[in-house]
Amino acid sequence: MGSSPKAVLILSGKRKCGKDYISDLLLSRLGADRCSILRLSGPLKKQYAQEHGLDFERLLDASDYKEKYRADMIRWGEEKRNKDAGFFCRLATRGEGSEREVWIISDARRVSDIDYFKTNYSKETVTLRVQADMKVRENRGFVFTPGVDDAESECGLDQGVDWDFVVTNNGDQQQLEADLTALLDRVQL
């Protein structure tokens, strides 16, 4: 296991709801000197790229290249998780930024992701669901993709999770500010 942070903020939400945007806002408010964004998908994509001879950097962006491999990458990642549920979580917490005192996990997708952090960092873990209306997500470029948007990687946290916070990201800056202020007050760093 990597270092032990003072806080772990776990974000989840549907594609195009703004998880990366919220993660970046939190990073800017908490400070990059003490906070880092750890992406569970980063180690997954890196390992997938290595095993399949693909361009890792292109799998990180919002390109058609990533979309071309998304369904197979999901299948491959599920195989890895079925063998070891904490595989990608451990890789993420050993990488760059893991020495910082606050970790923002920007892309939790399964109950096993949350369980990993609650088990290993229980006192410090805060869960956060980012949500946006379907119309807003569509305006951001969301298009339903069978095999992706109905897979566990997108739906695994839709039910059965008692979120510590829910942030609504529909473009209402006042609402977003209120949600983020409540979250940061709770974390008290």
pLDDT tens column, 5-19? 999 999 999 999 999
pLDDT-based confidence at residue 21 (cuts at 50, 70, 90): very high
| Domains identified in the chain and CATH numbers | 7-42+87-187 (3.40.50.300)
- Enumerate long-range contacts of 121-125, CB under 8 Å, 24 or more apart: 121/4, 121/5, 121/8, 124/4, 124/5, 124/6, 124/7, 124/8, 125/7, 125/8, 125/10
**Model-wide pTM > 0.85:** yes
Q: In this predicted model, what pLDDT tens digit does every residue of 151-160 receive, in sequence order? A: 887 888 998 8
For residue 117, give the nearest of 98, 149, 89, 94 by alpha carbon.
89
pLDDT digits (tens, 9 = 90+) for 123-150: 789 999 999 999 999 999 999 988 888 8
Please state, in angstroms and rounded to a whole number, the distance separating the CA atoms of residues 179 and 97: 25
Place of tokens 């983020």: 180
